[in-house]
Copies of this chain bind each other. A is one copy, B any other.
Amino acid sequence: MKIWANSGDSHIIEPPTLFDALPEHLRSLMPRSVKDADGAFETIYLDGQEFRRAMPQSAPGEQGGRPPRMTAMPKGTDASEYANRHIQSNDAEQRLQDADNEGVWAEVIFPSLGIWASNIRTPELAKRGARLMNEFALDFQNQSERFVCTAAIPMLDINDSVAEIKRSAADGFLAGFLPVLPPLGRPDWHHEDWDPMWDAFADTGMRIAFHIGTEPLEPTERTGVYFRGRGGAVLNYVETTYGGQKAVTKLIASGVLDQRRELKVLVSEGGATWGPFLADRMTEGYRQHSAGVRPVLNREPAEILFEQVYASFQHDSSAILACSAMGWQNVMWGSDYPHFEGTFGHTQETLHGLFDGVDEAVSHRIRIGAFQELFPSVPLPAFAV
């Protein structure tokens, strides 16, 4: 039996022609990728900086030497199929066909160039780049009521941030994308300077959507490489999970969410079991430093997190228990489509593995209800779920 789910974590790949309309002095600064001859790495050129990134690996085939419980990549998938899927993801009809096949209903869709947004240093570039990305995303979103695209937000001038949030909300965006850390040189998310931006999110009703792995980089750094040597691949993967937790801690400890109860925050792709844990840790910190804590919050940090923060996971079985056993109602599932490391090709296997035998109310809440609460204007699936 087919099982359906909304996705709190999907992506769209901007076309390479997206920035052709910009004047030359800006166009040459926008991100472009040059692949190595052997296909193992690419170099991203952005705003006068260069970053190196490992290309997504091809399929591991028969999982030789891996423990049998590991979920295999879809058989026969290879790098060229991966590339095709990226292109298909920008064709709304093909994307919906993929989604129907996989059992995915509505999706929160992040920009792909968004992972570079925190590395832009030129305010005009940030502003005009975000506008073009949002025009593209809006056209895409308008092709199906199942698409919830996240607006790109310029972050180098707070007036530009506020203006783009207001404009994109008026255009129909339901969420804005933010990296887990602001650009280098800008104050961190808990600083007062950002308050007008949080006000704009609150006033427009747009959701804040953080995606993990979006920290700004020094140009000398290779994207996502924090550790080398033994265990490096797993260490680097796990390292990305902390950024979303830290962003949430900043918005709660600083009083940003306490003062704006209508503000809702989604953290995508970082798992979800951290929610109840972080809630307890913040409450403990608040208790231990109760004499010196600033600002005093009107609600416990745990209560704020449980009410205003949402998180999406792909495969983590403990995430369901964070909802059913630990009481965090805001756990959401996500496919990471069309990324190679997501659930494409095995979504039904993943969903059945996660939810078969789970209490129906919990299952429905995680697959459908939490997403619905964040985006009530998105229609429910027209069939039994």
Provide the residues of chain B in CB contact with A278, threshold 8 Å.
238
A281 x B58 contact (CB < 8 A): no
Kindly state the separation between the CA atoms of A227 and B298 in the bound complex, as whole angstroms: 22
Provide the residues of chain B in CB contact with A291, threshold 8 Å.
57-60
A237 x B280 contact (CB < 8 A): no
A230 x B242 contact (CB < 8 A): no
Answer whether A285 and B250 are a contact pair too, CB < 8 Å, given A318-B280, A318-B326: no
A281 x B231 contact (CB < 8 A): no
The contact of A190 among B227, B288, B290, B292, by CB within 8 Å, is B227
Judged by a CB distance under 8 angstroms, whether A357 is at the interface is no
Judged by a CB distance under 8 angstroms, whether A188 is at the interface is yes
B231 x A250 contact (CB < 8 A): yes
Provide the residues of chain B in CB contact with A319, threshold 8 Å.
280
Interface SS of chain A:
loop
- For A87-130 the 0/1 string (1 means CB < 8 A from B) is 00000000000000000000000000000000000000000000
B191 x A230 contact (CB < 8 A): yes
Kindly state the separation between the CA atoms of A276 and B319 in the bound complex, as whole angstroms: 9
Question: Copies per complex?
Answer: 2
- For A228-240 the 0/1 string (1 means CB < 8 A from B) is 0111111111110
Judged by a CB distance under 8 angstroms, whether A25 is at the interface is no
Judged by a CB distance under 8 angstroms, whether A16 is at the interface is no
Judged by a CB distance under 8 angstroms, whether A255 is at the interface is yes
Q: Which residue of B lies closest to A239 (CB)?
A: B246
Q: Which residue of B lies closest to A187 (CB)?
A: B229
A294 x B253 contact (CB < 8 A): no
A286 x B191 contact (CB < 8 A): no
Kindly state the separation between the CA atoms of A32 and B285 in the bound complex, as whole angstroms: 27
Q: Which residue of B lies closest to A336 (CB)?
A: B288
Judged by a CB distance under 8 angstroms, whether A185 is at the interface is no
Judged by a CB distance under 8 angstroms, whether A150 is at the interface is no
B190 x A285 contact (CB < 8 A): no
B321 x A234 contact (CB < 8 A): no
Chain A residues 201-235 with CB under 8 Å of chain B are: 227, 229-235
Kindly state the separation between the CA atoms of A279 and B190 in the bound complex, as whole angstroms: 30
Judged by a CB distance under 8 angstroms, whether A49 is at the interface is no
B287 x A70 contact (CB < 8 A): yes
Could you list 26 examples of A-B contacts with CB < 8 Å?
A65-B296, A66-B290, A67-B298, A67-B300, A70-B286, A70-B287, A70-B300, A188-B227, A192-B229, A230-B294, A231-B295, A233-B253, A238-B253, A238-B278, A238-B285, A239-B246, A241-B281, A242-B242, A276-B321, A277-B316, A280-B317, A280-B318, A287-B315, A321-B325, A321-B326, A325-B325
